[in-house]
Amino acid sequence: MKFAREFKAALKSGDFPEEWCQAAIPYPTLKKCLNKIRAEFQEMGLDADTLRQLLAAQAVSDRGDQIPLAKYKFDVSDSAVHTHFTIFVDLEDGVVVDASLSPASRAFIEKQANIRRSSLASGQQADGVTADAPVPDMIDDVSDEEDESATPSSLSSPPGERVHHIAARTHHKSFQRVEVSLTADSEFFDLIYRDMAELERIGQAEQVAITAEVVALGQEVSAVAQPERKKRVWFGGGSDSKSGTHSSAVAHHKYASDLSRWRELFELYLDAQVFFSTRERDHGKARTSAQASKQLDWFQDQVKKRGLLQHFLLPESMAAYQHFLLLNKRLYLNLRFRELNQTAQAKILKKFDKVTALGVSTTFPDALSRRHRDLLVEGMARDVCARIAENVISVVPRLEDYTCPVCLSLAWLPVRLQCRHVFCVRCVIKMQRENQKFCPMCRGEVVMQADLDNLDEDLEKFLKLYFRQEAKEKQKANEIERGIELFGEGYKPSNCVLM
């Protein structure tokens, strides 16, 4: 009961939409189904220990292949889950594996054999037992007069499956695989399946909505993070010439842009690694919701400490930032909701295994994933984060994407070698002076062929536009370095003074 209360409390306090809460895994209802399942198995004389022994026991084919004495499997369709519990019975004495089963297991198999023998004698189908040949999963009676040319693959599929005792025997007997009818477990798994399908529908709708928001946010950020442009901005105080009254602010036309603020903000966001870790030891591992919440808090704290919001020049930037935070929170809520439901599913399946020992905690999720790979939309966080990087963060060019691989600063003036790698002009000149013929990136013999024609003028304009301050600093550094080359280490730049 502890987890049921925690699950309910987490849904109630998690800021989830009501539609989500209604679609969450019905944990209390599933627990009630477990009582029906326990009762159904007990009526057949099957407790957890007996089921565990039956599933572990093996019959042996004429060719020496081991075949499970009992099998429990799922048939997942587009709309439902069907379960099949099948066993091999010996129609002669009801025992398949001599001296290896407990009295309870032997009693169950003998009971099923008696039911089947009575069914065959009367020519009718026994309730709860299926073994007719037309049914694909069933196996007819098998005797040692059957065709010995059957291939090994026929041992695991009907008809013609042949098994004999594991214990040493010198003759073969007639066996039949019988399906034991179960109803309570079908109700249990149908309930989970229908609920998972609804969660899938909600997840897919969320992914579409969030993707649309990402595109809209990208347009917002693009509008406020353009290179400096003429913008009507309010400053200081003044008087209204028409009314003669003093106003608290007046409008001036001034070049204004929040490009640098957004660049720093996105660098912090990438450093936060909110939903995925890029550390080598984690191999791009996805964050848990608790980790994502912690990293998102760290990001907001760093933005506050650096005063980035106070330094925004445009009011639209604050609105775009709030939209960006809401988008991340929405993605976090989807992650948290998926985790809660996965935990609820895992716990209820473990309880099922505790009651039945059928091992469904691994086999059922595997069966679902083979049929429906997008249940709970597991890839949502990865897909949305990729779209944020493509549609939002890429709107603000990052310095590290335009650095020279040699000096690790802005590639100013940019020289594009024949191999298409870009370096700053100073580094190319140095490589040529030192007779370094090969590109440091690809080892292509292209350095000595570079000349003024290799200057990338379009990229130069782009860098000057989007990295104005960095371009000025790199240009100044180049001038100082050139001065030292000409005049020695004591060279110091100075401004010209006209007398």
pLDDT digits (tens, 9 = 90+) for 434-445: 999 999 999 999
User: Residue 436: left if φ>0, alpha if ψ -120 to 50, beta else—which one?
Assistant: beta
Is the alpha carbon torsion for 262, 264, 268, 270 positive or negative? positive
Angstrom distance (rounded) from CA 394 to CA 29: 47
CB within 8 A of 306, min separation 6: which ones? 264, 268
CA distance 412 to 423: 8
Query: Predicted confidence band at 246 (pLDDT cuts at 50, 70, 90)?
Result: very low
Instruction: Let me know: does 257 contact 229? Beta carbons within 8 Å.
Output: yes
Q: What are phi and psi of 413, to 5 degrees?
A: -65, 135
- Residue 400 in this model has a pLDDT that exceeds 90: no
User: Is it true that the peptide bond before 227 is cis, omega within 30 degrees of 0?
Assistant: no
Q: What single-letter amino acid sits at 448? A: M
- How much is the average pLDDT of 448-471? 90
Of residues 257, 225, 260, the one with CA closest to residue 469: 260
Contact 60, 66 (CB under 8 A): yes
Which 8-state DSSP code applies to residue 375? G
- Return the CA Rg of the chain: 36
pLDDT above 70 for 99: no
CA 169, 173, 174: angle at the middle one, nearest 5? 160
Name which of 345, 340, 300, 295 is nearest 16 in CA terms: 340
211 versus 56: the higher-pLDDT residue is: 211
Query: What residue spans define the domains of the chain?
Result: 2-145+156-187, 197-227+255-395, 399-487
**pLDDT computed for residue 90 by the predictor:** 60
Sign (positive/negative) of CA torsion 212, 214, 220, 222? negative
Confidence (pLDDT) at 328: 94
Q: What is the pLDDT of residue 446?
A: 94
Average pLDDT over the chain reads 77
Asked if 70 contacts 78 with a C-beta cutoff of 8 angstroms, the reply is no
> Which residue has 């005063």 as its token pair?
307
Judge whether 279 and 486 are in contact, CB under 8 Å.
Answer: no
Distance of CA 453 to the CA centre of its chain: 47
Cβ distance 272 to 298 under 8 Å? yes
Distance CA 172, CA 163 (A): 8
Greater model confidence, 370 or 419:
419
- How far apart CA 464 and CA 461 sit, in angstroms, is 5
Most confident of 173-187, 382-396, 452-466: 452-466
Tokens for 55, please give them.
């599933």
Beta bridge partners of 416: 422
pLDDT band, very low/low/confident/very high, at 161 (cuts 50, 70, 90): very low
| Alpha carbon distance, N-terminus to C-terminus of the chain | 91
Task: Specify the 3-state DSSP secondary structure of 86.
Answer: strand
| Omega before residue 182 within 30° of 0, cis | no
DSSP state of 21: H
Tokens describing residue 246: 């003093």
Q: What are the tens digits of pLDDT across the range 402-433?
A: 999 999 999 989 999 999 999 999 999 999 99
CA distance 348 to 30: 7
Residue pair 71/177 in contact (Cβ under 8 Å)? The answer is no
Residue 378 confidence (pLDDT): 55
Tens-place pLDDT, residues 288-335: 999 999 999 999 999 999 999 998 988 999 999 999 999 999 999 999
Angle between helices 315-356 and 380-391 (to 10 degrees): 170
What pLDDT is stored for residue 146 in this prediction? Answer: 37
Q: Which CATH class is domain 399-487?
A: alpha beta
Question: What is the tens place of the pLDDT at every residue in 134-146?
Answer: 233 333 333 333 3
Pairwise CA distance, residues 497 & 499, whole Å: 6
Total length of the chain: 499
pLDDT attached to residue 163: 40
DSSP string, 394-426: GGS--GGGGB-TTT-SB--SEEE-TTS-EEEHH
Q: How far is CA 461 from the centre of its chain?
A: 40
CA–CA dist 211, 391 (Å, integer):
10
**Strand 58-60 to 66-68 pairing:** antiparallel
Q: What is the mean pLDDT of residues 365-377?
A: 63
User: Quick one: which of 332, 293, 69 has its CA closest to 178?
Assistant: 69
Residues forming a β-bridge with 424:
414
Q: Determine phi and psi for 357, rounding to 5 degrees.
A: 60, 30
Average pLDDT over residues 352-360: 91
Q: What is the pLDDT of residues 47-75, one digit of tens each?
A: 888 888 888 877 665 566 676 778 888 88
Angle ∠(38,39,41) on CA atoms, nearest 5: 70
